[in-house]
């Protein structure tokens, strides 16, 4: 299993370089929206390590075609030159009846299926590569429909899942989606996310995908239980952290991940 770290902001470049130098990580996931204007050579020289692309704000389900075509043009250049391990995006709502939402919201997996399928087909064509779509940390009962939605979308479009294990734990804690419901998705996925989560400030308390805490025992237990399904050739696991950059805590989590996916011991020789 290749272990990676997300690079979202310029400020964390020294930390990411330190994690690479210490061999705590093998690659860097770029939140690519933030680096679209960076010269390609500069981006290539940035870390001297493989990269993954995570697209955050394409809003490909609702954005207008000319804007998406311009974005796709730049992304294709970056894909051609940087040869990322994967290209991922989000299936989510960014607005409601013309009003911009503060946080991205979950789609209706049943009623929105046809529209989403059509847009995924189009966006994948525009990017010229397989697209991976991240599962949402559900807070409402509609989350129960997410695993079947992703399996169907994969069958119909070839777009895979960037399976976020801790998002699945959030959905389990918030609305009871069993972790076992994701078995089919995990089996057909090679690229994964994991992160810490936290309680919402407002009541009733929800579990939010905050990327600011150490990995929970529930997440580590989930990874351990399905480690052989996760750990296939060329598989990647990105540890996401966007706040509280506590280096000791981050390194400890990365070492825990290495421990979960360490090759089986050869045993003692006599
Ligand atoms: Fe994620």
Is 83 a domain residue?
Answer: yes
Those residues whose C-beta lies under 8 Å from the C-beta of residue 251, and which sit 6 or more positions away, are: 19, 22, 24
Q: What pLDDT, on the 0 to 100 scale, is given for residue 95?
A: 83
Q: Which residue has the higher pLDDT, 96 or 267?
A: 96
What's residue 161's pLDDT?
Answer: 98
Residues composing the chain: 270
pLDDT reading at 266 higher than 60: no
Q: Kindly state whether residue 29 falls inside one of the protein's structural domains.
A: yes
DSSP annotation string for 77-92: HHHHHH--S-EEEE--
Using the predicted structure, report yes or no on whether residue 168 has a pLDDT greater than 70. yes
Beta-carbon neighbour count of residue 110 at 10 Å? 10
The parent domain of residue 179 ranges over 2-260
Residues 6+ apart with CB under 8 A from 217: none
Minimum mean pLDDT range among 10-24, 54-68, 74-88, 90-104: 90-104
Q: What is the pLDDT of residues 138-164, one digit of tens each?
A: 998 999 999 999 999 999 999 999 999
On the question of pLDDT at 85 being above 90, the answer is: yes
Q: What is the pLDDT of residue 221?
A: 97
Instruction: For residues 245-270, give the mean pLDDT.
Output: 84
Q: Mean of the per-residue pLDDT values for the chain?
A: 94
- What is the CA(81)–ligand 1 centre distance, in A? 24
What does the block give as tokens for 242?
A: 């966007």
The string of pLDDT tens digits covering residues 189-213 is 999 999 999 988 888 889 888 999 9
Return the pLDDT at 201. Answer: 84
User: What are the CA-CA distances from residue 189 to residues 48, 88, 258 (Å)?
Assistant: 26, 12, 19
Cα 3 from Cα 27, distance rounded (Å): 7
Task: State in Å: Cα 89 to ligand 1 middle.
Answer: 10
Would residue 45 count as lying in a domain?
yes
Residue 78 CA, distance from chain mean position: 19
Q: What is the CATH number of the domain that holds 181?
A: 3.20.20.150
* CA 76 – CA 89 distance, rounded (Å): 14
Q: What is the pLDDT of residue 264?
A: 65
Q: If you average pLDDT over residues 117-144, what whole number do you get?
A: 96
- For the segment 37-43, the average pLDDT, to the nearest whole number, is 94
Residue 200, phi then psi, degrees to nearest 5: -65, 155
Sign of CA dihedral 14, 86, 106, 196: negative
Backbone angles phi, psi at 240, to 5 degrees: -100, 135
Tokens of 223: 């990874």
pLDDT higher than 50, residue 110: yes
Angle CA 23–135–7, to nearest 5: 35
CA 192–ligand 1 middle distance (angstroms): 8
Assess whether pLDDT exceeds 90 at residue 188: yes
d(CA 267, CA 246): 35
Q: Is the pLDDT of residue 175 over 80?
A: yes
Q: Is the pLDDT of residue 47 over 50?
A: yes
In a domain, 144, yes or no: yes
Q: How far is the CA of 241 from the centre of ligand 1 (A)?
A: 10
- The tally of domains found in the chain comes to 1
269 CA distance to ligand 1 middle (Å): 41
In a domain, 197, yes or no: yes
Whether pLDDT at 269 is above 60: no
pLDDT at 270: 45
66 CA from centroid of ligand 1 (Å): 28
* 265 assigned to some structural domain: no
Give the DSSP letter of residue 267: -
Query: What CA–CA distances, in Å, run from 183 to 89, 118, 168?
Result: 21, 25, 11
Cα gap 72→126, rounded to integer Å: 6
167 C-alpha to ligand 1 centroid (Å): 7
């Amino acid at each position: 299993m290749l272990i990676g770290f997300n690079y979202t902001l310029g400020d964390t470049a020294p930390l990411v370089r330190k994690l690479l130098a210490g061999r705590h990580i093998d690659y860097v996931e770029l939140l690519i929206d933030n680096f679209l204007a960076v010269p390609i050579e500069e981006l290539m020289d940035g870390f001297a390590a493989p990269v993954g692309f995570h697209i955050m704000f394409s809003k490909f389900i609702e954005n207008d075609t000319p804007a998406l075509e311009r974005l796709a043009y730049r992304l294709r250049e970056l894909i051609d030159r940087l040869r990322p391990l994967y290209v991922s995006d989000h299936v989510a709502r960014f607005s409601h009846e013309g009003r911009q939402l503060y946080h991205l919201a979950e789609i209706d997996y049943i009623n929105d299926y046809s529209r989403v399928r059509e847009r995924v087909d189009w966006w994948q064509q525009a990017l010229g590569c397989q697209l991976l779509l991240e599962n949402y940390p559900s807070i409402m009962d509609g989350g129960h429909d997410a695993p079947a939605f992703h399996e169907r979308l994969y069958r119909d479009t070839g777009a895979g899942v960037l399976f976020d294990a801790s998002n699945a734990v959030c959905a389990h804690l918030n609305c009871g989606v069993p972790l076992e419901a994701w078995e089919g998705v995990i089996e057909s996925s090679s690229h994964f996310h994991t992160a810490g989560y936290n309680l919402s400030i407002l009541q009733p308390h929800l579990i939010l995908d905050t990327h600011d805490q150490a990995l929970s025992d529930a997440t580590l237990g989930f990874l351990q239980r399905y480690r052989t399904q996760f750990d296939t050739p060329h598989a990647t696991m990105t540890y996401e952290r966007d706040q509280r950059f506590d280096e000791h805590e981050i390194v400890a989590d990365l070492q825990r991940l290495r421990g979960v996916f360490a090759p089986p011991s050869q045993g003692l020789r006599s």
